Chains A and B, each alone.
Chain A
Amino acid sequence: MRIVHYVNQFYAGLGGEDSAGIGARVLKGTVGPGRLLAQLLGAEHDIVATLVCGDDHAASHTTAAPELLKMAQAAGADLLVAGPAFGSGRYGLACARLAAVAQAAGLPALAAMHPDNPGISEAGDAPVIAAGATAREMRPSVQRLAAAVTKLAAGEALTAADGRVIQAARVGQLVEQRAAARAVELVLRRLGGDREATEVPVGGFGVVDPAAPVDKAASVTVALVTEGAVVPAGNPDRLESARASRWLRYPVEGADTLASGAWESVDGGFATTAANADPNRLLPLDAARALEREGAIGRLHGEFLTTVGNGTPVATARRFGVEWAAQLRKAGVQAAILTAT
C-alpha cells in the first residue's frame, strides 16, 4: 500500500519555532519519525512521500489541510498517516484537520496524538490513535501507530483495543431511581466524605505554563483579545451568543476608540447594556491607543481577536487558544491582553 505521511516542520528537520510559518510542501520518501514507521510497517507498505507544514501556518490557515490533501493525492496515496503529534496543540490540530479532509474525500486516514491534545476534536470521521504526551514516548507511540496502520490497510476497523481514542457519545439509559432520589443520595455520599461521586464528570481545565515575560511592553507589539463577543454592530459574521464554534478578527488599525453604535457585544451570558453604551468597557481600545501614543506600548496590534466564552466547552476554548497563539505569533505579537467577562 502506498502511504503518505504528515509531519510538522520540526520532525521534518526544517527547523523549530523559527520555521513554524512555512507553508505546505512535499518531500520524497520518509523523514524523521516516518523512518521508524516505515521500518515497523515492513516491506508490505511503502511510505512514498512525506508532507510537511509549519505549525503556525497549519493552525492559522484553513486552506492548509486541503492543500496538503491535494499533495497526498498527487503522490498516489492509498492511505494517509499524520503524526504522532503527542501533546503539541498546533501540530495536533494540523494532523487532525488533514486526516479529517482526507477521510471525507475518500482517502483513508488516521492521526496519532495524545488523547488530551486540543486538536483531537477536529479529526472528523478519521480515527485517532493515542500517542504519548511528549516525544520521549516516540517509540511506543509509533509502534502502536504502525500496528493500527497495518490493521486499517487490511480493511479492518480500529477499536479502543488498538489505542483508538473514542470520543465519548451520550447514550440514553433507563435507571431504577428517579433524579430526585439520586440527587439526595449523592448529597448524602458527599456529606459522608465522598468527594468523587458524580453523574456528570467534569473535565479538568488542564495546566498551561505561563509564557515568559516580555522585557517591557514599551518595546513590543501588544494585542487586545476578548471572549466578550465584541463584534461590529449588527454582528455581520454571525458570531454565536453562546457555545462558540469559531472566533473572529477585526481590524482596528488607526482607530482611537470602539465607538458606541459601531460595535456591540452579542454575549448571551451577561447584560450587555453597559458594554454596548461604551464597548471600550469590554475591549479597552481607547486606553490602549493612548498608551501606545505615549510610548507605554511599543505597537498595538492592528486587529483584535474575539469569540464568546459563554458556555463554550473547554476543549473548544483550548483549540481557540492554540489558534490565537499561532495567529498572534505569526503577526509578531509578543504579548496579549485578554479581557474576560
Chain B
Amino acid sequence: MTIAEQVGAPRIVPGRGIPYPCGDPNLPPAAERQWRRQLVQRALDAVAVAVEHPTIFEVDDVNA
C-alpha cells in the first residue's frame, strides 16, 4: 500500500520519485514535458470521478 493510500488521500496520481512528483529527470526535456502534461491531465480526469476511498489513477504512459 502506498503512503498516499495509507494517509487517506482520496485521488492519487502516482509520480516517479519523491524529489520530482511532476517530472522525470531521466527523460529528455521534450519527453519529460509530455510526461508532466499526462500527469496533470490524469489529475484533471480524477477530480471528475466520484471516489469513496483512496483511489489510484495511473497514467497510461504513451512514451513507454
> Chain A contacts of B4 at CB under 8 A?
340
A46 CB within 8 Å of chain B = no
Assuming the contacts A213-B50, A215-B48, A216-B48, asked whether A208 and B22 have C-beta atoms less than 8 A apart, the reply is no
A contact patch SS: loop
- Give the residue name and chain of the B residue nearest to A226 (CB): B21
CB distance from B8 to the nearest CB of A (A): 6
Assuming the contacts A222-B44, A270-B18, A281-B22, asked whether A287 and B11 have C-beta atoms less than 8 A apart, the reply is no
Q: Which of A166-206 contact B (CB under 8 A)?
A: 205-206
B contact patch SS: loop
Contacting pair A205 B41 (CB below 8 A): no
Interface size on B, residues (CB 8 A): 30
Contacting pair A290 B37 (CB below 8 A): yes
A282 CB within 8 Å of chain B = yes
Contacting pair B36 A213 (CB below 8 A): no
Stretch binding the partner chain, chosen from A100-108, A129-137, A144-152, A272-280: A272-280
Please measure, in the bound complex, the distance between the C-alpha atom of A222 and the C-alpha atom of B22, giving whole angstroms: 16
Q: Chain B 17-50 against A: per-residue CB contact (8 Å), 1 yes, 0 no?
A: 0111111010000000100110111011101111
B1 CB within 8 Å of chain A = no
- Give the residue name and chain of the B residue nearest to A339 (CB): B21
Contacting pair B37 A287 (CB below 8 A): yes
Place the interface of chain A in its size category.
35 or more
- Give the residue name and chain of the B residue nearest to A208 (CB): B8
- Give the residue name and chain of the A residue nearest to B54 (CB): A210
Assuming the contacts A205-B8, A212-B50, asked whether A274 and B33 have C-beta atoms less than 8 A apart, the reply is no
A260 CB within 8 Å of chain B = no
- Give the residue name and chain of the A residue nearest to B34 (CB): A287
> Chain B contacts of A208 at CB under 8 A?
8, 10
Contacting pair B36 A284 (CB below 8 A): yes
Q: Chain A 1-25 against B: per-residue CB contact (8 Å), 1 yes, 0 no?
A: 0000000000000000000000000
Contact of A287 among B40, B47, B48 (CB under 8 A): B40
- Give the residue name and chain of the A residue nearest to B13 (CB): A337
Contacting pair B19 A280 (CB below 8 A): no
Give 22 A-B contacts (CB < 8 Å), ordered by A residue: A205-B8, A206-B8, A208-B8, A208-B10, A210-B10, A210-B51, A213-B48, A213-B50, A215-B48, A217-B44, A217-B48, A222-B47, A282-B20, A286-B36, A287-B36, A287-B37, A287-B40, A291-B37, A291-B40, A296-B44, A337-B43, A338-B9
